[in-house]
Structure 1
Amino acid sequence: MKRSSKKVGLFCITELVLVFLITHFLILPGTYIPSASMEPTINSGSIGIMVKGILAGEYERRDIVVFIEPDTRSRLFCKRVIGLPGDTVAIISGKVYINGVELSEPYIGEAGTDVYGPYEVPEDCYFMLGDNRENSYDARFWENTFVSKKDIKGKVAVIWYDKKFCWKEL
């Protein structure tokens, strides 16, 4: 009888350790999106599940990521990866150009008519924009324009709470 209770205890401890490791190193449940900067893709007040570590893999153009805001470094932001290391990013009449080629962005709201850049994305850095370009505090306005790879916390994989729906894959 004592052997089985030890096995149950060991099993419970193992489960707790696994849950801790998964939630702290691979996923971050309950990533809150407080602003409208990612609308219409992610609505203000949504809660998403973020994958990190080996589950996140490499960051690619169009990924939605959570990162440490580069100027004050006092809060987390959620934006879309637009420019990759080595890219030249320019915004002309509201349209994004990567290395001289217009980027197809069916996910954005109003694009605006402004001109920004060109920006040369440094090694191990990324250029981030919100989908709601007319209402997004992003790389166009930061003093430190680029986000270092080490400051990216992970990718938003799904939205599991939103006022308009219950579950949305990104």
Structure 2
Amino acid sequence: MNKSLGAEIKDWIISIVIAVVLALFIRHFIVELYLVDGPSMEPTLENHERLVVNKFVYRFREPKKGEVLIFQYPKDPSRDFIKRVIALPGDTIEIKNGHVFVNGKLQNEPYILSQTKGDYPLTTIPAGHIFVMGDNRNNSEDSRFPDVGFVPFNLIRGKAVLVFWPLNEIHSLP
């Protein structure tokens, strides 16, 4: 027995509405795709690579040192930045003679392009905030600059987990 044309159209509309609602739910709460714009995370991430970002992981835990994440630019929340977590709430950070120290310990950073230029005074990260830096330290607007500063948890969008484009560069992020 064939369905009437009206019933078939109704089934299609219901299916499309369910698919759209699911897609919006997934994009808003679970994963989102992002485009890397600029060289600040080279060599880890190249300009124009596309990423999968896990948006729910930080609902269950705080960021960890070394993770690459997306956050809203504090001075213009319509813009997103991607950087690496260097220090957590309560940690101290200092940059001197091109070396980064967290809690007084020299950091091993095999992911950076070159030694960090400039110094940053010994500072304690406030509660509810993180200190972030780009891997391309000398070409990165990050927590060392007043316009970014310490990033509050509420501006974090998610953790970058996978580069999926270009296809020959697919890889997960630590």
Same-fold status (TM-score > 0.5): yes
What letter matches 1:166 in structure 2?
E
Q: Give the CA deviation at 1:53.
A: 2.1
Q: TM-score, normalised by structure 2?
A: 0.84
Q: Counterparts in 2 of 1:28-43, with a 5 A limit?
A: 28-29=32-33, 31-43=34-46
For 2:64, what is the secondary structure of its paired residue?
coil
The equivalent of 1:51 in structure 2 is 54
The equivalent of 2:84 in structure 1 is 80
For 2:169, what is the secondary structure of its paired residue?
coil
**Cα distance in structure 2, aligned partners of 1:81 and 1:108:** 13
The equivalent of 2:127 in structure 1 is 123
Question: 5+ residue gaps in structure 1?
Answer: none
Q: Give the CA deviation at 1:143.
A: 4.1
**Cα distance in structure 1, aligned partners of 2:72 and 2:25:** 22
**Cα distance in structure 2, aligned partners of 1:165 and 1:39:** 17
**Cα distance in structure 1, aligned partners of 2:127 and 2:54:** 23
The equivalent of 2:21 in structure 1 is 17
Q: TM-score, normalised by structure 1?
A: 0.85
> Would you say the 8 A contact 2:130–2:151 is kept in 1?
yes
The equivalent of 1:134 in structure 2 is 138
Q: Give the CA deviation at 1:141.
A: 1.8
**Cα distance in structure 2, aligned partners of 1:107 and 1:101:** 17
What letter matches 2:46 in structure 1?
N
User: Structure 2 vs 1, CA of residues 9 and 150 (structure 1 numbering), >3 Å: closer, same or farther?
Assistant: same
The equivalent of 1:105 in structure 2 is 109
Question: 5+ residue gaps in structure 2?
Answer: none
Using the TM superposition, name which of 48-57 and 99-108 deviates more: 48-57
For 2:100, what is the secondary structure of its paired residue?
strand
For 2:23, what is the secondary structure of its paired residue?
helix
Q: Percent identity?
A: 32
